[in-house]
Structure 1
Amino acid sequence: MKTIIRKIDNLYSDHKFIEEAAGILQRGGLVAFPTETVYGLGANGLSAEACRKIYEAKGRPGDNPLILHIGDIEGLYEIAEEITPTAKKIIDKFWPGPLTMIFKKRPCVPDNVTGGLDTVGVRFPSNEIARELIRLAKVPVAAPSANSSGKPSPTRASHVQFDLDGKIDMILDGGAADFGLESTIVDATGGKAVILRPGAVTKEMLEGLLGYAEIDPAVLKKPDKNIIPKAPGMKYTHYSPKASVILVKGEMGKVVEEINRRAKEKQRDGLKIGVLATDETKALYKADIVLSAGSRNDEVSIGANLFKILRKFDYLDADIVFSEVFSEKGEGLAIMNRLKKAAGYNYIEV
């Protein structure tokens, strides 16, 4: 299969490319497209056969649910059986945007979208290209991240091409994603707001709206192979570059000292060592590759850069990557959730 790549510089002058992509979705094909979070790999979300192709192209486990994307709020009522008052309050505040909500599904939603569950994740993206594509396709679009399963999520069309070229029909190149981390996932089917995956819509934001918000215990610990995942990413360790990632936690001066010591040891063994640092510390490290994710004073930029940086270690052939850790408040919770999974929960405390 030859993968077509279409650059969207302007929603109106390049509209024909979005129309072309919508036609591919209607015919059961796969299209990668930009959202404000990461690039998604889209298929007709009401076609079990089209959704099967997503799992095949990504090498994705069949029990890892997909998210259905809608182009307008009316689309929600076609696929969701029940919308609780709590869910309504959340979506009125945060949609369109980087938030996925869990709902009881209608029978029209195929079982392979939901991993066999009776619930479905739904997102109303704010990215204009994504919304226009869904509107023209005239179906909800199932779209996990457009990467090979287990690898860092793509924040640019080039990342998608690196992983999936020749496996999918088209890539719509709409530039870099704004947030760079997948959407927050919230389950309010039981009346309470429970975070199943942290993201740009933070626990603190939900608490400001509702007065409370819970975090599912599975978010905070190493995935259990026996867990039945309620949402994408709950069961599996992923976001990993080819290199082994090791998180180093402690007082910053000691962290720098420990990483430099271990880097020197591993370099003696002939290994190429990378360090995921910040603007404040990058000059302190002595490794083969030192990359900054941004300033510690700007969590949003760190989140936006994280997957790009993890992929860059691959491009530069790092064998081991030592990473600093971050606060788990605000968007830091989402950053650390992804870093822990990338590292397989491999920590050094100093």
Structure 2
Amino acid sequence: MKVTLEKATDLIKKGHTVAIPTETVYGLAADAFNVNAVKKIFEQKGRPSENPLIVHISDFDQLDLLASEIPETVKKLADQFWPGPLSIVLKKKDSVPDIVTGGLDTVAIRMPDHPLTLSLIKKTVPLTAPSANKSGRPSPTNIRHIEEDFGPELPVLDGDSSKIGLESTVVDLSGEKITVLRPGFVDARMIEDVLCQKVWVADQSDESTQKKSPGTRFTHYKPRADVQWLVEPILKITDSNHYYLFHRQRQQSSQKNVHSYDEDYPSLARDLYDHFRTADHLSCSTIFIEPFESEISHPIIPALKDRIEKAISS
């Protein structure tokens, strides 16, 4: 159900949830300091309670409401990447409810790059906003995806389709090492270039990594169709029961379940979750994806591989 900015503001202030647009994916938002409102997010999504949430802000000064320690590195990254698809993990203030952080002493914070959502936060408070989908499903990048999971009654602030289509990078600044916990549009090298120091990339199978960041510990991004890497090259596609995504191989096919991107990796990232959901609408049994060879270099590829691997292994 589409709502206006004024209606969304009123709903948030009254302790309700609202689906909001960002440049990454749509989020299911609630007042970050209202425990009962945040509980509704977990209930509506079916999200595990120990899975931490990201808090969204509209102004750098709002960090003082959330973080007990704000190192100089935060300002450098914010100047370069905020508003934008970078979430920063910091030591939290006691005023941040434990339900938001999964009981951790850290909190993930970002400033989304969408004018409607920034306006909403300015009119209300910092908002928790995990992806507006049922837990485990592909994240939503448009209103149709949200309605598929929640029906037409969930209030949605309509901001058109997401520009990036993959969740934000999560970087941890709370410890001794600067560590990327979840890959996204902003990669480790981009962060290193800004900070002029080493940035580590966490092992996604490490339990301490999984606890600190959303999108690393539980089933995520999975369509009903089986997702597999395409092991053998395909010369001719005849099976309409499968769905194909290519990024280098050029496929000439009139079938609506075959898509080639000709090395346009940002577009593939933007469309990935929509492809997952479309394959389900077509009742395809399997989604085959051309693997990324090691010699291919693009900042978004680690994030693409991460989301696809989680869809495969879930």
Same fold (TM over 0.5): yes
Paired residue for 2:306? 337
1-side partners of 2:109 and 2:178: how far apart?
Answer: 15
- Cα shift at 1:294: 2.5
Contact 1:97 1:125 in 2 (8 A): yes
Please identify the structure whose Cα radius of gyration is greater: 1
Contact 1:64 1:115 in 2 (8 A): yes
Is residue 290 from structure 1 mapped to residue 257 from structure 2 by the alignment?
Answer: yes
Contact 1:85 1:191 in 2 (8 A): no
- Residue correspondence of structure 1 range 253-264 to structure 2 within 5 A: 254-256=232-234
Is residue 175 from structure 1 mapped to residue 160 from structure 2 by the alignment?
Answer: yes
Secondary structure of the residue aligned to 2:245 is strand
1-side partners of 2:261 and 2:279: how far apart?
Answer: 16
- Cα shift at 1:164: 1.4
Paired residue for 1:143? 129
Paired residue for 1:197? 182
1-side partners of 2:257 and 2:297: how far apart?
Answer: 23
The residue identity in structure 2 corresponding to 1:69 is H
Deviation readout 1:45-65 (Å, 9 max, x if unpaired): 101111110011111111111
119, 140, 147: which one pairs with 1:132? 119
2-side partners of 1:52 and 1:99: how far apart?
Answer: 25
Is residue 237 from structure 1 mapped to residue 219 from structure 2 by the alignment?
Answer: yes
Is residue 65 from structure 1 mapped to residue 65 from structure 2 by the alignment?
Answer: no
- Residue correspondence of structure 1 range 1-350 to structure 2 within 5 A: 4-6=1-3, 17-137=4-124, 139-165=125-151, 168=154, 170-211=155-196, 212-218=198-204, 221=205, 229-249=211-231, 254-256=232-234, 272-278=241-247, 280-283=249-252, 290-292=257-259, 294-296=261-263, 298-326=264-292, 327=296, 329-344=298-313
2-side partners of 1:34 and 1:203: how far apart?
Answer: 25
- Cα shift at 1:206: 1.2
- Cα shift at 1:166: 5.6
Which runs of 5 or more structure 2 residues have no equivalent in the other structure? none
- Cα distance change, pair 341–152 in 1 and its aligned pair in 2 (3 A): same
- Cα distance change, pair 129–317 in 1 and its aligned pair in 2 (3 A): same
The residue identity in structure 1 corresponding to 2:138 is P
Contact 1:70 1:134 in 2 (8 A): yes
- Cα shift at 1:289: 5.5
- Cα distance change, pair 282–61 in 1 and its aligned pair in 2 (3 A): farther
Secondary structure of the residue aligned to 1:22 is helix
2-side partners of 1:131 and 1:317: how far apart?
Answer: 38
The residue identity in structure 2 corresponding to 1:215 is V
1-side partners of 2:310 and 2:68: how far apart?
Answer: 33
Secondary structure of the residue aligned to 1:282 is coil
- Cα distance change, pair 123–312 in 1 and its aligned pair in 2 (3 A): same
Compare 89-98 and 175-184 and name the one that shifted more. Answer: 89-98
- Cα shift at 1:167: 6.5
Compare 24-33 and 234-243 and name the one that shifted more. Answer: 234-243
Secondary structure of the residue aligned to 1:75 is helix
Equivalent pairs counted in the alignment come to 310
- Cα shift at 1:248: 2.6
Contact 2:247 2:265 in 1 (8 A): no
Secondary structure of the residue aligned to 1:274 is strand
- Cα shift at 1:86: 2.4
Which runs of 5 or more structure 1 residues have no equivalent in the other structure? 7-16, 346-350
Secondary structure of the residue aligned to 1:149 is coil
The residue identity in structure 2 corresponding to 1:316 is L
Paired residue for 1:11? none
- Cα distance change, pair 196–227 in 1 and its aligned pair in 2 (3 A): closer
Secondary structure of the residue aligned to 1:307 is helix
2-side partners of 1:276 and 1:332: how far apart?
Answer: 14
Contact 1:105 1:120 in 2 (8 A): yes
- Cα shift at 1:173: 1.3
RMSD: 2.3
